[in-house]
Amino acid sequence: MTDIVDELKWRGLFALSTDEDALRKALADGPVTFYCGFDPTAPSLHVGHLVQVLTVRRLQQAGHRPLALVGGATGLIGDPRPTAERTLNDPETVTGWVAKLRAQIEPFLDFEGENAAVMVNNLDWTENLSAIEFLRDIGKHFRVNKMLTKDSVARRLESSEGISYTEFSYQLLQGMDFLQLYRRYGCTLQQGGSDQWGNLTAGLDLIHRLEPDASAHAMATPLMTKADGTKFGKTEGGAVWLDPEMTTPYAFYQFWLNVDDRDISKYMRILSFRSREELEELERQTEERPQARAAQRALAEELTTLVHGADQTAAVIAASKALFGQGELAELDERTLAAALSEVPHIQVAELGPAVDLFAEVGLVASKSAARRTVKEGGAYVNNVKVAGEDAVPAKEDLLHGRWLVLRRGKKNLAAVEVTGG
């Protein structure tokens, strides 16, 4: 990697910077101490945050020193959303979320060596700061007319909701973060998403006012979008979280496996650590044989391993294969099987009935007569075993982990039945 700016541009990770030539020189002369902030407004990061986490990792691998900030102070306020005020969470909740987010970020970074990462919390320099000190030392250097032009503020002012003084002041807090990190760690670069540009430049302005000789920079990645117009990182079930209790490793893997062909090249460049040659080869395979989904499989495996580990990745790949008859369902552990089956149509029944009834009830076929026809044609499977006849009834011994049946019509149509009776 000869020039990290060129690399970021090729990957689609460079949207804005304050002075590209000066930034390029600073990074070339490096190492540069930089920071990226994450607010604990939920108990987990989601895949939208993954863009920033992995960009921090790239910059560290290029020889620069990361400060990963989890905002115990800014998390108590919340960055203004475009439409409405955030619900304020109590301090104990936010403190717990700080710990969870730190634990999610830390595995991506290296905390040893000359450019060892440092985890920081802005509550350290705000907790004992009085309101008078904040207004005199920080608020004095911000101009309201300029604050009003920030996108998030301007949109809220145009809405019927308006904006509270609390959220209006958020950019002062983030600006103070950059100043404090400059003074404490020699941090001269803030990185974030382009939707944060107003907050990024607020910190730069504050540094330049209070440290006239300082050379500092801001750099933003573009917001990731989906070709179909929906928000990146969202599914019908909501956000795709990094916490395995909120989004199972199986669902996480499936999210990437189902990426639209129109998006996969962009996502691979932004999120994968494969070389240009490897990515260009995967792009070529996708163009020539899109049905093979080679790029989607590669990205799903890489990111699931990064986030959840190799063992979980192996388990979800085995589950994916077994569900479609390419492996032994009985060998899947109960948690992985349950997670996989939660992603397909499923029903609960008190007791087992004829297979044709189950196929119709779960919606794999339109009616019992259609189920009988599917059985007769040899296209109905229970636990990957072809249903022998129209009157076949699964036995209790067939239940996976004593509770599940996997139903399949043809090669690709899956559903599940969970038996809840004793």
Q: Residue 340: inside a domain, yes or no?
A: no
154 plus 52 within the same structural domain: yes
Number of H helices, E strands in the chain: 19, 13
Give the pairing type, strands 65-70 and 118-120: parallel
Taking the C-alpha atoms of residue 290 and residue 262, their distance in angstroms, rounded to an integer, is 10
Residues 171 and 84 placed together within one structural domain of the fold: yes
- pLDDT above 80: residue 128: yes
Residue 229 lies inside a defined structural domain of this protein: no
130 and 13 share a domain? yes
Residues 188 and 247 in one domain: no
Question: Of 275, 306, 333, which closes a domain?
Answer: 333
Distance CA 47, CA 57 (A): 15
- Band of pLDDT at residue 343, cut at 50, 70 and 90: confident
Whether the per-residue pLDDT at 207 is higher than 60: the answer is yes
Together in a domain, 406 and 325: no
236 pLDDT higher than 80: no
| 227 domain-assigned | no
pLDDT of residue 233: 81
- Domain membership of residue 77 (yes or no) is yes
Structural domain including 248 reads 234-333
What is the rounded average pLDDT of the residues 172-182?
Answer: 96
Answer yes or no: do 243 and 211 share one domain.
no
How confident is the model over 94-125, as pLDDT tens digits?
999 999 999 999 999 999 999 999 999 999 99
Q: Is residue 339 part of a domain?
A: no
> Do 49 and 170 lie in a common domain?
yes
Number of domains in the chain: 3
Higher pLDDT, 62 or 152: 62
Nearest to 37 by CA among 12, 5, 73, 6: 73
Based on the domain organization, do 382 and 239 belong to the same domain?
no
> Where a domain ends, among 186, 221, 256?
221
pLDDT at position 422:
59
Whether 226 is covered by a domain: the verdict is: no
| pLDDT at residue 253, as a whole number | 95
Instruction: Show which of 285, 303, 333 is a domain's final residue.
Output: 333
pLDDT of residue 1: 39
pLDDT given at position 192: 94
**Greatest C-alpha distance within the chain:** 84
- One domain for residues 213 and 353: no
Q: What is the mean pLDDT of residues 4-15?
A: 95
**CATH classification of the domain holding 384:** 3.10.290.10
The CATH number given to whatever domain includes residue 153 is: 3.40.50.620
Tell me if 35 is assigned to a ligand binding site: yes
CA distance 70 to 97: 9
Residues listed for the chain: 422
- Give the DSSP letter string of 186-220: ---EEEEEGGGHHHHHHHHHHHHHH-TT---EEEE
Q: Check if the beta carbon of residue 27 is closer than 8 Å to that of residue 8.
A: no
- The answer to the question of residue 105 being in a domain is yes
Quickly state the pLDDT bin for 157 (edges 50, 70, 90). Answer: confident
Q: Is residue 341 part of a domain?
A: no
CATH of the domain at 313: 1.10.240.10
Q: What percent of the chain has pLDDT over 90?
A: 78
Say if residue 234 carries a ligand binding annotation. yes
The verdict on whether residue 396 carries a ligand-binding annotation is no
pLDDT tens per residue across span 66-79: 999 999 999 998 88
Residue 94's closest CA among 16, 35, 40, 142? 40
- Whether residue 165 is annotated as binding a ligand: the answer is no
Same domain, 207 and 305: no
Q: How many other CB atoms sit within 10 Å of the CB of residue 118?
A: 17
Residue 199 and residue 288 in one domain: no
Q: What is the mean pLDDT of the chain?
A: 92
**Closest to 198 in 3D by CA, of 303, 80, 325:** 80
Whether residues 118 and 184 share a domain: the answer is yes
The tokens describing 380, both together, are: 């109905």
pTM (2 d.p.): 0.89
